Amino acid sequence: MAYKALYRTYRPQTFDEVAGQQHIVKTLKNALATGKIAHAYLFAGPRGTGKTTMAKLFAKALNCDNGIGHQCNECKNCLAIMDGSHPDVLELDAASNNGVDEIRELIDKVKYGTILGRYKVYIIDEVHMLSTGAFNALLKTLEEPPEHVIFILATTEPHKILPTILSRCQRYDFEKVSDKDIKERLRIVLDEEGASYQEEAIDLIVKLADGGMRDALSILEKVLAYSGNSLIEQDILDIFSLESTEEKINLLKSIINHDVKDVLGRLNRYVTSGTDIKRLTEDLLTILKDVLVYNSSNNASYLELLKENEVEEIAPLLDEDTTLKMIDVLMNAVKDYKNVTSITPLFEITLLKLTSLNNAQKPVPPVEKVVEKPIEKHIENPTRPSYIEPKPVEKKVEEPIKIVKEEKPVEEPVYSTEIKMNDTVIYLKDADAEDYFSISDDLMIKVMVTSKKDIKTELIDGWKNVKKFVTHPVVGKAASLLIDGHPLVASNKIVILEYQLPKAAEKVNLKENQLGLQTVLEQIFHRKMFVYAVSRNKSIDLQGEYMNLLQIGQLPKAKEVFLEFEGE
């Protein structure tokens, strides 16, 4: 039998085997169980997140001999769908069949009945590649297909699809698969393949995959072929021209020590060995972000790339001001990479800027940190020379932070962890939710109705002030969580923040963080507000649902929605 790629060999054959996308799996299962099956679906999301796989699983659940909703993988329908030979499940690649003629041919076949199964399922992959004429030819059939026909459109770029097509489909947005789900799936595959592996190597593959399950399996397959059925971190670094975390830390140490000769020597080695400079720059940014978070919170659980022993090695060498300036230099470099023909000279200039920047911070930052405190205590001494007067300006952050004095933040919390809406407590303290708050989509829509533009604008304009609290010993951790958030919805009682990554939103929704988050916002904006976070993908879903309800006139009226803090 011909060799099959890992991502094909280990493609999920039931809904329960799907890595991530549980919100979509649950919805489709419920639709099958209740018979509420739409005539057209749109699966949108990044590559390698399971759109085509989910479409085939749905087709299998529609046609299984054991009944709708089943996936026995033994009957003639399931087996035919698995090997791609089912006459009623047709997959069309719109990238290579994007013309009017191909779509008209498809439409002509729609009217015929099924041959083997209950439903004809048309899966059109990369549907955004269809021409305008092809879209228009599909419109009427997509709106009113025969009862035995279901269309599933898959795309990585839903914004390119005509609104008239979008309005005729039930849309599902696929998220990047979580690191945890990818890691668990990789372990299963490695065990099935009988391959030995290092945990560090799995973590590196997860990072390279960037939320794509298919990419993770493709990377794994390449490494196993290279190393002879074993997964070793160094092999991955060699294959993909990457540098180890130890090497990146050593590079930062040379920069901090103003060792230009060593920095340029390392750069020459990177160029000679073909190191991926863009990824190296991004990893340096992540390391500095980890240092900033760790120095602010002293909590290793928030680290993204570094381990605790690694961050303890580099963190004492950098103060907050130096770290932020280094981050700015690297972020500017990342933006400029796309404007130059060769990024190597730009990266060299960036390294020299970093080295020079650190030199301007002499003496060593940790020492400077210790010296500043006694200077601030004696600032009112009239005999003090005038040249040290600017010192308090550098520490402006201390003034607003001194306002925050919670003598008994644990014994006597003054902030709410519940909100009432129309006499119904929002689902925040469910026993099954463990340590996290969670608001249902229904109630989120009601919260969105209460949003006030002026409050949201006030938050957006003043959000930069959150950074001033990052080094505070009491609320620094909460401030570091707020920095990456973007106010999405805001009213007098609650603010909903949007985060690019689901993990960041989860951390904000930890119950133990709520008091600190509310404290920071009250000090800046003088408002007592409950803080809740959603991921970017969840935000898109909610805004889509909001617009749908608005268009059909079923949106709750703002005057009928009342938010009230529990205990007020």
Q: Where are any strands of DSSP class E within 278-421?
A: 419-421
d(CA 224, CA 201): 11
Q: Which helix (H) or strand (E) holds 530?
A: strand 530-535
> In 3-state terms, what secondary structure has residue 424?
strand
pLDDT at residue 477 greater than cutoff 70: yes
pLDDT at residue 533 greater than cutoff 90: yes
pLDDT, tens digit, 9 for 90 and up, residues 87-108: 999 888 887 777 788 888 888 8
CATH of domain 179-239: 1.10.8.60
Q: Where are any strands of DSSP class E within 22-177?
A: 40-44, 89-93, 120-125, 149-155, 170-173
Name the phi and psi angles at 527, rounded to 5: -130, 135
Q: Of 262, 265, 202, 263, give the one whose Cα is nearest residue 236.
A: 202
- pLDDT recorded at residue 113: 85
pLDDT at residue 409 greater than cutoff 60: no
Check if the beta carbon of residue 145 is closer than 8 Å to that of residue 39: yes
Considering only the C-alpha atoms of the chain, give the largest distance between any 2 of them, rounded to a whole number of Å.
97
CATH topology identical between 179-239 and 245-362: no
User: Per-residue confidence at 559, pLDDT binned at 50, 70, 90?
Assistant: low
Q: Of 324, 299, 310, give the one whose Cα is nearest residue 510.
A: 299
Mean pLDDT, residues 483-501 taken together:
89
- pLDDT recorded at residue 2: 63
Q: Of 314, 198, 202, 307, give the one whose Cα is nearest residue 253.
A: 314
Q: Of 219, 176, 222, give the one whose Cα is nearest residue 501.
A: 176
- pLDDT recorded at residue 388: 41
- The domain locations on the chain are 6-173, 179-239, 245-362, 419-565
pLDDT, tens digit, 9 for 90 and up, residues 24-35: 999 999 999 988
CA distances for 202 relative to 212, 248, 266, angstroms: 14, 19, 27
The pLDDT mean for the chain works out to 81
pLDDT, tens digit, 9 for 90 and up, residues 274-333: 888 998 999 999 999 989 888 888 887 788 888 888 888 888 888 888 888 899 999 999
Check if the beta carbon of residue 181 is closer than 8 Å to that of residue 48: no
Q: Which two tokens stand for residue 506?
A: 């989860």
Name the phi and psi angles at 197, rounded to 5: -155, 160
Q: Of 513, 299, 524, 296, give the one whose Cα is nearest residue 413.
A: 513
CATH of domain 245-362: 1.20.272.10
User: What percentage of the chain has pLDDT greater than the value 70?
Assistant: 84
Q: Which two tokens stand for residue 399?
A: 């003034």
CA-CA-CA-CA torsion for 406, 408, 411, 417, nearest 10 degrees? 0
Compute and round to an integer the Cα radius of gyration of the chain. Answer: 28
pLDDT at residue 412 greater than cutoff 50: no
**What would be the CATH architecture of the domain defined by 6-173?**
3-Layer(aba) Sandwich (3.40)
CA-CA-CA-CA torsion for 33, 37, 42, 47, nearest 10 degrees? 30
Residue in the block written with tokens 């249902």 = 440
Give the residue, 433 or 549, on which the prediction is more confident: 549
Q: How many CB atoms lie within 10 A of CB 158?
A: 19
Mean pLDDT, residues 203-213 taken together:
87
